[in-house]
Amino acid sequence: MTTFLEVKNVSKIYKKKTALQPISLQAEVGECIVLCGGNGAGKSTLLDIIAGISAPGAGTVLINKIDIQKNRQKYVSLIGYMPDEFFAQETLTVREFLTFYGTFRKVATKRVNEVIQILGLEVKKNEPIKNLSKGMRQRLLFGQAWIGSPALLILDEPTNGLDPYWIDIFIGLLKNIKQSGTTIIFSTHMMDVAAEVADRIIFMEDGKLLETIKNDHVDHNQFMVELVNRYRRKEE
């Protein structure tokens, strides 16, 4: 397999507080890594650094051997990023919002319409964002990250606000995206989602990588129980 994402000894300090201890990890082409851990574990900080939203205090991140410090434009062109909070001008419609991001990714109108349809937003496509429910906003936020068919998809708590029906749809969508060769890294508190999609689950705590568990995708239910038990032990 080919290594696509490399995180090398990355650390981060905010206002004299260590947010990330030196962290190293790799992800292969078409692999899905899920970050798990409680609030303040460092998941969002790590994802922000990989996405280029925040600079590391030390260390480097390479995507397809490209360093953001040396070629930011090429680096950013390879990723799609979904933050854990929705920030947008709320008078924009669904279509306008996705068209805006689609323009940056140089995608055709057909692709914008396809994403709207797949994410169940067709009936809301001309509605302003302010009229959308939490779940719809979450789907829209995912849409802007995915619209350019990125080589690396970075998602911060993507299932927040989704009902069980859309969580199932989302799981199936991520599986298809992964099978297409896209590398995925995302954070979640939902062990059932991690068990379904992840090839590796990494537990984090206090800015450190505690444990990595490989998913053999053989017995989903047993694996989910194992994850839940481990997660609970780490939270105690």
Mean pLDDT throughout 169-188? 96
Q: What percent of the chain has pLDDT over 70?
A: 97
How far is CA 139 from each of CA 3, 124, 134, 143, rounded to the nearest angstrom?
A: 29, 12, 9, 6
- 52 in any annotated domain: yes
Which single residue is written with the structure tokens 């008078």?
91
Residue 40 has pLDDT above 90, yes or no: no
- 167 in any annotated domain: no
Antiparallel, parallel or unpaired: β 152-156 and 79-82? parallel
**What's the pLDDT score for residue 221?**
75
pTM (predicted TM-score): 0.94
Q: How many angstroms from the chain centroid is the CA of residue 164? A: 19
Judged by DSSP in three states, 219 sits in: coil
- 195 in any annotated domain: yes
Which residue type, as a one-letter code, is found at position 100? F
What sign for the dihedral angle of Cα 69, 177, 108, 80? negative
Mean pLDDT throughout 178-184? 96
- 229 in any annotated domain: yes
Kindly report the number of other CB atoms within 10 A of residue 231's CB atom.
Answer: 18
190-232 pLDDT, tens per residue? 888 999 999 999 999 999 998 899 988 777 777 777 777 776 6
Radius of gyration, CA atoms only, the chain = 17
- 231 in any annotated domain: yes
- 199 in any annotated domain: yes
If one counts the domains in the chain, the total is 1
- 23 in any annotated domain: yes
> What's 203's domain CATH number?
3.40.50.300
Residue 234 has pLDDT above 60, yes or no: no
Q: What percent of the chain has pLDDT over 90?
A: 79
Range of the domain at 199: 1-78+185-236
Mean pLDDT throughout 110-116? 97
Judged by DSSP in three states, 55 sits in: coil
Of 34-43, 144-153, 184-193, which has the strongest mean pLDDT? 144-153
Residue 235 φ then ψ, to 5°: -85, -20
List, as own/partner pairs, every contact residues 41-46 make where C-beta atoms lie below 8 angstroms and the sequence separation is at least 24, other chains included.
41/204, 41/205, 41/206, 41/207, 42/204, 42/206, 42/207, 42/208, 43/156, 43/187, 43/204, 44/84, 44/156, 44/187, 45/12, 45/19, 45/20, 45/207, 46/7, 46/10, 46/20, 46/204
